[in-house]
Structure 1
Amino acid sequence: MLCILNACSTSSNQLEQILERGELRVVSRYGLTSYYTNSGQLAGFEFDLAQAFADYLGVELKVTVPNTLSKTLDMIENGQADIAAAGLTITRARQNRLRFGPIYHEVTQQLIYRHGSPKPRDITEISSGQLEILANSSHAEQLALLQQEIPLLSWTENQSIDSSGLLQLVQLELIDYTIVDSNEMSASHGLYPELRVAFDVSDPQPLAWGMRRSEDMSLQLAVTAFFEEIENTGYLDQLIETYFGHIRRFDYVDSRAIHRRIQTHLPQYESMFKAAALAYGYDWRLLAAMAYQESHWNPEAVSSTGVRGLMMLTQATANEMGVTDREDPEQSIFAGTAYLTIIKNRLPERIAEPDRTWLALAAYNIGLGHLEDARILTEKNGGNPDRWADVRENLPLLAKQQWFSQTRYGYARGGEPVRFVGNIRRYYDIMLHHDEVNRNSTTPPAEPNQTLPAAL
């Protein structure tokens, strides 16, 4: 950092001003790919990146969410904020207004329509429907380019809601189409099970942080050095895996089912999940997601292998945990939670969250011995045995003789815990979204440009 400061000749450059005030001012936007609240804690891919950069500088993080995208860009240009960490794509028009940091991801713009409506094959087939997009977005820039070739192309720019709101309008059939970035659609697909991707509207476009254009390069140099460090340490890959690694092929029937059962089945057991979560230190929605994966919240569920109940306990596990009736919902929830905790405690102490939880869930499904075999194979293959993303790639090897013959516990269907953990993470996201929607429906809307505190 001293090298960066010394390389900038200005007596009080932007980086020095940030360090002097002890605060990094970031503008972002609400959404699963950027910034949201989770049980009162702040989270999101962009938020975690910004927090890591603030820690790198040794300053506090202050995040502001402007009420429009246009205001976000204005605040950077006017010096009211230092960085726009809002999933911004680099476009020609934006490069005339902002300076961008290193590229950290790529997305594609996609046209979204509702299942049951005619699927348009290309942009020329949407003229009879209502297309509504985010105002002043890269989507508007792309449509303006397409309009040069298709003069009849028309759309409405919405100033008052975000991409998630536009997806909801399509879901409710209040508009026919919208355009969102592919990462947002992937993260939101389970939340809006009726929506479909018709086609890509653009080629892949890079994402980066936006900063003020000026001769002062101090902040950009610091941002570049920061991204170089987190790429070298693997933190960037780990963060991408944390927020996007569980997104798999969209299952329409499954996603509709959990939305329905949240209303019809979950209320009977919610207080039990909350009590178990309080007793053992979990988010109750994670336990509920785990139970949904196991039994779809059916306390009388029985598998072909004889496991049964909400948490699908084996007879041996039930005996170990003192369960007298595996079909009793409360006994099942508390025993399953306690057993998961035992597994977590048996993992090496050096394994940090969230990898610790994902590995424990995998062991809950396949057994701690087989998980340890997979971790050993991961290390042999050059991966990190303490990272779920690496172990996940090696678990399926337990079903192949050339690999399981090298292990202590032998053959296992290693693909099952991969699906098991991925499904739980997806169900957990859906439950977080439901909770957020319900909370927002009973509380007043936030004031425009509301400033939220850094991580609690």
Structure 2
Amino acid sequence: MTVIQCIDHRANWRLRRLSGAIVALLVLLLAACEQPDDELDQPPADPIERSAQDRFHPDTLRQGGQLVVVTRNAPTTYFIDRHGRPAGPEHDLVRDFAQAADLRVRFIRRNSVAEILRALETGDAHLAAAGLVVTEEREQRFLAGPAYQEVTQQMVCRRNGRIPGSLDDMDGVRLAVAAETSYQARLRYLRDNAHPELSWITDPQASTEALLHRVWEQQIDCTVADSTIVALNRRYLPELEVAFPLGNPEPLVWLLPEAAEPLRQALLDWHEQATAAGRIEQLLKPYYDHVDLFDYVDVARFRNRIENRLPELEPHFREAAEQHGLDWQMLAAVGYQESHWDAAAESPTGVRGIMMLTRATAEELGIGNRTDPVQSIHGGARYLADLRERLPENINEPDRTWFALAAYNIGLSHVRDARRLTLGLGRDGDSWAAVSEVFPLLAEPEYHQNLPFGYAPGNVPVQYVQRVRNYEDMLREMMEE
């Protein structure tokens, strides 16, 4: 390829990315229009009468009404997934409660914490599920539901930028936080009680995610964010660095209007049952179990190879994925996990190429040259699609794809053993969240000796799936930038 061809190729690639972003936006807009009635992002026609407790009683809500939940659009709360469906930790928890209480639910989205709290006070919502903690000021205005997750507030700055060692080292640091947040309340407390020189800028419009992006772009030095938000965003913005925590872990809760005690009691009952059954942990696990693998060098290398290696490979990933009913970015993430998109890669065990196919698999797929990028990508896509097809029909997406990824890594036989063991332990063998917790037991004799295919290093496929999902999420986010 000549220099001119390479430049043209990269220009065309960026143009495709821009066109793809526009198409993706249209798809999301259409998907939003096609959401079921109880997911429409609209407030109820009439404000909720906060003074009447019966308006918040589950029995009343069942009689032709609906539970109105205010949230915000973020990866830790509520978003539309790549299939055009509502998703997110808060969304899934609320849906579980609504199902248990036999309630229809409507989500309304607001852009800031201030707007979310205002929606509760003005009667636009029965419940706020938006990654909130209880502050002294909020305790005076609202009721708090049960705690479902712990987070730690963190001072977040930028690698190679101004990184204070503690609050005593904040002189000259450009610090900004979102308005009416628990971060602002914590900073006020710290300033009034121990650090009178502490100062910051409050932004009434920006979200926490937007401020993290400003730190990454070096528009400000630092901001404050919950540990969960930081963990998710560091995958896309690897130069973000946690300087120090701003206190001990604290619980996330849902907030309700003061008149909503009947609804609060229903939430407490649901929470007790869901916790005992392990459902809350199971609902949160898909969103967070793959984010602890952050490595700055790895993420920085990944960003570099998106720019320098992916342009030539992307058309082949797209074509192969379309032919076999796969998501191309997921397929590309598999390729990166396997070889870092290196066509000449070879492991000590003899697997080769971008998709790291064995000689036997390549022969079965009719691939003559495993180091040929096009053959390798198409062969890997066909093999992965075949594994997914061979799984039982009752395994639904996205679990179906995650099981197929595990099989790509360790073989379908061991995946079947892991599902058998999971079922034998009284858990859901069709749920990747459940099976991924049981999989490591295949390395222990007391468990694997009674399984058809015996020993397997069960932690390896679990980490493999985590890494592929992590790369897929990062790729999707980085390309949207």
Give the Cα–Cα distance (whole angstroms) in 1 for the partners of residues 310 and 184 of structure 2: 41
Give the Cα–Cα distance (whole angstroms) in 2 for the partners of residues 233 and 411 of structure 1: 29
SS of aligned partner of 2:132: coil
Aligned counterparts, 1:43-442, within 5 A: 43-58=87-102, 60-117=104-161, 119-148=163-192, 149-214=194-259, 216-378=260-422, 384-399=428-443, 404-435=448-479, 437-438=480-481
Contact 1:112 1:196 in 2 (8 A): yes
SS of aligned partner of 1:173: coil
Please state if 1:19 is matched with 2:62: yes
1:113 positional shift: 1.4
SS of aligned partner of 2:150: strand
Give the Cα–Cα distance (whole angstroms) in 2 for the partners of residues 75 and 140 of structure 1: 20
Contact 1:132 1:175 in 2 (8 A): yes
Segment of structure 1 superposing worse, 294-303 or 140-149 = 294-303
**Alignment RMSD (CA, Å):** 2.5
Give the Cα–Cα distance (whole angstroms) in 2 for the partners of residues 11 and 165 of structure 1: 39
TM-score by length of 1: 0.86
Contact 2:146 2:271 in 1 (8 A): yes
Give the Cα–Cα distance (whole angstroms) in 1 for the partners of residues 64 and 171 of structure 2: 52
Segment of structure 1 superposing worse, 342-351 or 12-21 = 12-21
Count of paired positions: 428
Give the Cα–Cα distance (whole angstroms) in 2 for the partners of residues 23 and 11 of structure 1: 13
Give the Cα–Cα distance (whole angstroms) in 1 for the partners of residues 55 and 110 of structure 2: 27
Structure 1 residues 294 and 153, CA gap change in structure 2 (3 angstroms):
same
Structure 1 residues 325 and 60, CA gap change in structure 2 (3 angstroms):
farther
Structure 1 residues 37 and 272, CA gap change in structure 2 (3 angstroms):
farther
Q: Deviations over 1:407-447 (max 9, x none)?
A: 44344443322221111111112123224x44xxxxxxxxx
> Match of 1:85, as an amino acid?
A
Q: Deviations over 1:167-188 (max 9, x none)?
A: 1111111111111001111112
Contact 2:309 2:341 in 1 (8 A): yes
Contact 2:58 2:101 in 1 (8 A): no
Give the Cα–Cα distance (whole angstroms) in 2 for the partners of residues 425 and 249 of structure 1: 11
Structure 1 residues 280 and 301, CA gap change in structure 2 (3 angstroms):
same
Q: Which residue of 2 aligns with 1:450?
A: none
Give the Cα–Cα distance (whole angstroms) in 2 for the partners of residues 392 and 67 of structure 1: 35
Segment of structure 1 superposing worse, 197-206 or 378-387 = 378-387
Structure 1 residues 232 and 413, CA gap change in structure 2 (3 angstroms):
closer
Structure 1 residues 334 and 389, CA gap change in structure 2 (3 angstroms):
same
Q: Deviations over 1:196-253 (max 9, x none)?
A: 1111102111111111112x42322333333344334433221111101112242111
TM-score by length of 2: 0.81
Q: Which residue of 2 aligns with 1:444?
A: none
Give the Cα–Cα distance (whole angstroms) in 1 for the partners of residues 267 and 326 of structure 2: 35
Contact 1:23 1:61 in 2 (8 A): yes
1:255 positional shift: 0.6
Give the Cα–Cα distance (whole angstroms) in 1 for the partners of residues 53 and 117 of structure 2: 25
Give the Cα–Cα distance (whole angstroms) in 2 for the partners of residues 414 and 172 of structure 1: 40
Give the Cα–Cα distance (whole angstroms) in 2 for the partners of residues 261 and 41 of structure 1: 30
Q: 1:28 aligns with which of 58, 71, 76?
A: 71
Contact 1:102 1:208 in 2 (8 A): yes
Give the Cα–Cα distance (whole angstroms) in 1 for the partners of residues 463 and 352 of structure 2: 19
Q: Deviations over 1:128-168 (max 9, x none)?
A: 21111111100111111111211111111111211111111
Segment of structure 1 superposing worse, 20-29 or 314-323 = 20-29
Contact 1:77 1:213 in 2 (8 A): no
Q: Which residue of 1 aligns with 2:35?
A: none
> Match of 2:71, as an amino acid?
S
Q: Identity of counterpart residues, as a percentage? A: 39
Higher RCO (CA-CA < 8 Å; seq separation 6+): 1
Q: Deviations over 1:266-325 (max 9, x none)?
A: 232333333333333332221111111112122332222221222111121122222233
Contact 1:27 1:72 in 2 (8 A): yes
Contact 1:245 1:389 in 2 (8 A): no
Structure 1 residues 329 and 18, CA gap change in structure 2 (3 angstroms):
farther
Contact 1:38 1:432 in 2 (8 A): no
Structure 1 residues 316 and 250, CA gap change in structure 2 (3 angstroms):
same
SS of aligned partner of 1:206: strand
